[in-house]
Amino acid sequence: MFYSTRAKLLAGFLGVTLFLGAVSLLAGVHLIDRNVRGEALTHVRQDLNSAHEMYLSRVRQVKTALSITTLGFAFISSVSERNTTDLVLRLERLSRLAELDFAGILSEDGRTLCRTGPYAFPGPGARGPHRLAEAVLDQRVPLSGTLVLERDFLLSENPELAERARITISGGSHAGTDGVRELTDGMAVAAAVPIFDAARLVGVLYGGILLNRSEFFVDALRAAVSHGEPVKGESVGTAALLLNDVYIATNLAGAEGRRGLGLRAAAAVQEQVLGQGKLWVDREFVAREHYIAAYRPIEDMFGRRVGMLFVGVPEAKFSHIRGQVLQFFILITLAGMGLAAATGIVIARRISAPIQWLIQASQQVREGSLTPDLGPLQKSEMGLLQKAFGEMVEAMGRRRAASELRIIQSEKQASIGKLAAGVAHEINNPLTGVLTYTHMLLRRQDIASDVRADLQVIAEATERVRKIVKGLLDFSRQTKLDPEPTDVNRLAAAVISLVENQALVKGVTITFSPGENLPRVTLDRNQIQSVFINILVNSLDATEAGGHIRVFTAASLSGEGAAQEGIEITFADTGCGIPPENLNKLFDPFFTTKGVGQGTGLGLSVSLGIVQRHGGHIRVQSEVGKGSRFFIWLPIQRRAEHESAGG
C-alpha cells in the first residue's frame, strides 16, 4: 500500500502530541488526585477537631450556666425552703438563657422537686431516674458530658422531648440489615451540679440540651468548619451527630429534601469508631453523594462510646477542581495537536512538493526529455537533491550524446572501411594497367611533344588516383597494433623534429613542453607517430607565418565513466580555427577543407581510428580566428576490449 509522506508525517506528529497529551493528562490527574485528596483528608480531619472542640465547649457552657445558677443566694434559699414556684420560674429563665431543653432540681434524697415543662411539680414520690443526678448526689461534685436519655425519662420530663427524640431509622442505603426501626432514645449534652447551703447539700440542679433533631447545634457546627464557602451553589461543610450509628442531627440533605435523619453509618465506620474508638477519615457515600468524611467517637460521661461526630465535605468540591484541571489538560493537548497538525502539513508540503516535482521530472526523463522541469529549488537538502538530479540528467544527456556520436563515428568508419577496401582492391588492378601503359608510352622517344604533354597529364592524374586509393586503404586497414612501452615525450619530440623544418620554412614556431615524470605508455609507436604527424601537419597547415604551435604532455585521468589513468598530448595552434559547424564533421572520412589534391580527408579519420584502437580518444576545442587545440588522450594500460577491436 502507498502512504504519502504527508500522511505519515502528519500521523507521526499527531501521534507524538496525543501520546504526550495523554501522558501528561494521566500524570496530572494522578497528581491532583493524590494532592487534593490528601489535602481534603487533612482539611476534614482538622474540621472534625474544630467540631469536637465546639461540642466540648457546648458541654462546658451547660455546666457553667448550671454552676453559676447554684451559687445565687436567692436560689439556694429557695431550694432550702422548697419554694418550687420560685424555682420553676428561675429554671425557665435559665433554660431560656442557656438554651436548655430540659432542666430540673432534685432534693438531696433524689426526688424531683420541680422541673421545666408540663410536669413542673411532680408528686413527692417522683425520683430522677437518671444516673447523672444520682452520681452527683453520691459524689457531691458537678458532672457534665454526653448522656443517653431513655424514652421513659424523656416522657417523664416532657412528652415533647420524647417526640423530638423519635427518629425513623432508614437502613436502606447503609449496612443496616435490621430493616426499618425507630430510635426512641435521645442523646443530650447535660450537666448536674450539687446545691449547697452553707456546706449542707440541699439538692442537685440538672439540665441539658437534647441533640436529636438539633438543627441549631448542627448548623453552628457546620458554620464553624466550612467558613461559609459555597461550592456549586451549595454549602460545603456537612456536620452530623450520631447516636450509635444513626444520624440524629445533621444538615445532610436526605431523601426528598429532608435532612438525612435516621440514616446509618457504614458498618466499617461503626466498627472502627464505635468498636475501636479510633478516628475514621476517608471517602464515603452518604445519603446522595460521595463525601470526604471524618468520624470520631463521642463518649458519655461514664466513658462509654455512645455516638459519633461526623464532618464531611462533598467530593464534588474536589472533583470540580479535578474536572477543571482535566479540561485544561485536554484543551492543551487539543491545541498541541492542532499546532502539530498545522506544522506537519506545512513541513510535509515543503518536503513532498519537491518530491512530487522530482517524480514528475523522472517521468519526463523516462519519456525522453533531458531537460525536465524540477520546479522551484528548495533551500534545504531537498534543494540539493533537486540540483543533483538536474545535474545527473544533464550529465546523462551529455554522455549519451557523446556515446551516440562515437557509435555513429565508428559505424561510419567501419562501413566506409569495407567499401574502401573493396573499391581499392578492384581499382588497383586496372590502375596498374593505366600506369604501365602511360609510362611505357612516355618512354618512347618518337612521340610528338604535345602528345607527351598529354600523356604527362594522364600520368599525374593517375598518380593522384593512386594516392587517394592508398589513403583509402590506410583508412580501412584495421592494422593490428604492435604495442610496446613507449616514452610519449620522446615520441612527440621525434615527431616535432620531423616537422620542424617544414615549420621553419613557413615561419611558424613549434614549442614543446614535456610533462615531467610521465609513465611509459604501451602503444604502437608507428601508428601513434603517424597520428602525431597528422595532427601536427594539420596544425601547421592552419597556422599562418608568425603563428606558433605549442605541444605539451601531461598525466591525465579520462573524464568518462570510471576514471582511468592516462596521458594527454595537446597540440595548440594559433591558426585559423575551425567553424563550429565543421567540428562535428572533422573526423568524418573524406571531410576536408583543403583544396583539391591537397588532402584526402582521411587523415583525422585514420588518426581517430588508431587512437580509439588504443583505448583513447581525441577532443577538439577551436575558436575561429584564434586557433585550435587537439587533445589526444591515451590510457597507460589498455583494456582488453580495445585489443580485440584492433586487427
Q: Which is nearer to another protein, 377 or 435 (CB)?
A: 435
What DSSP string describes 103-130? EEEEETTSBEEEESSS--S--TT-B---
| Residues in region 421-440 near another protein by CB under 8 A | 421, 424-437, 439-440
| Spatial separation of the C-alpha atoms in residues 74 and 61, rounded to whole Å | 22
| Spatial separation of the C-alpha atoms in residues 251 and 215, rounded to whole Å | 7
How far apart are CB 366 and another protein at their closest, in Å?
A: 46
Q: Which is nearer to another protein, 466 or 520 (CB)?
A: 466
How far apart are CB 470 and another protein at their closest, in Å?
A: 8
Q: Which is nearer to another protein, 100 or 424 (CB)?
A: 424
Q: Which is nearer to another protein, 429 or 517 (CB)?
A: 429
Planar angle of CA 242, 246, 251, nearest 5 degrees = 60
Whether residue 167 contacts residue 187, with contact meaning beta carbons closer than 8 Å, is answered with no
Of 235-243, 331-339, 418-426, 542-550, the segment contacting another protein by CB under 8 A is: 418-426
| Spatial separation of the C-alpha atoms in residues 632 and 263, rounded to whole Å | 114
Q: Which is nearer to another protein, 140 or 480 (CB)?
A: 480
Report strand pairing: 230-231 vs 234-235.
antiparallel
What DSSP string describes 202-222? EEEEEEEEE-TT-HHHHHHHH
Neighbouring C-beta atoms of residue 619, cutoff 10 Å: 13
Q: Which is nearer to another protein, 305 or 477 (CB)?
A: 477
**Nearest to 332, CA basis, from 20, 117, 38:** 20
| Spatial separation of the C-alpha atoms in residues 602 and 591, rounded to whole Å | 7
Q: Which is nearer to another protein, 420 or 586 (CB)?
A: 420
Q: Which is nearer to another protein, 252 or 469 (CB)?
A: 469
Whether residue 527 contacts residue 481, with contact meaning beta carbons closer than 8 Å, is answered with yes
Q: Which is nearer to another protein, 339 or 440 (CB)?
A: 440
Q: Which is nearer to another protein, 346 or 461 (CB)?
A: 461
How far apart are CB 481 and another protein at their closest, in Å?
A: 10
Out of 198, 443, 501, 561, the residue judged to bind another protein by CB under 8 A = 443
620 binds another protein, rule: CB under 8 A: no
Of 11-19, 194-202, 465-473, 563-571, the segment contacting another protein by CB under 8 A is: 465-473
473 binds another protein, rule: CB under 8 A: yes
How far apart are CB 395 and another protein at their closest, in Å?
A: 40
Whether residue 206 contacts residue 128, with contact meaning beta carbons closer than 8 Å, is answered with yes
How far apart are CB 498 and another protein at their closest, in Å?
A: 18
With a CB cutoff of 8 Å and minimum separation 6, the contacts of 5 are 348, 351, 352, 355
Of 18-26, 471-479, 507-515, 531-539, the segment contacting another protein by CB under 8 A is: 471-479
How far apart are CB 429 and another protein at their closest, in Å?
A: 4
Q: Which is nearer to another protein, 41 or 435 (CB)?
A: 435
How far apart are CB 434 and another protein at their closest, in Å?
A: 8
How far apart are CB 422 and another protein at their closest, in Å?
A: 8
Collapsed DSSP state (helix, strand, coil) of residue 181: strand
How far apart are CB 628 and another protein at their closest, in Å?
A: 31
Whether residue 597 contacts residue 532, with contact meaning beta carbons closer than 8 Å, is answered with no
| Spatial separation of the C-alpha atoms in residues 635 and 557, rounded to whole Å | 8
| Residues in region 477-536 near another protein by CB under 8 A | 477, 479-480
b/e 179-197 (16+ beta carbons within 10 angstroms → b): eeeebbbbbbbbbbbbbbb
Collapsed DSSP state (helix, strand, coil) of residue 279: coil
Helix (H) / strand (E) element for 475: namely helix 449-476
How far apart are CB 495 and another protein at their closest, in Å?
A: 19
Out of 166, 466, 506, 629, the residue judged to bind another protein by CB under 8 A = 466
* Phi, psi torsion values for 550, nearest 5 degrees: -110, 135
Q: Residue written as cell 598525466?
A: 555
How far apart are CB 411 and another protein at their closest, in Å?
A: 21
Binding mask 41-80 for another protein (x = CB under 8 A): ----------------------------------------
**Nearest to 416, CA basis, from 467, 466, 477, 462:** 477
458 binds another protein, rule: CB under 8 A: no
How far apart are CB 601 and another protein at their closest, in Å?
A: 20
Q: Which is nearer to another protein, 170 or 438 (CB)?
A: 438
Count residues contacting another protein (CB under 8 A)?
26
Report the interface residues with another protein, using CB under 8 A: 421, 424-437, 439-440, 443, 462, 466, 469, 473, 477, 479-480, 647
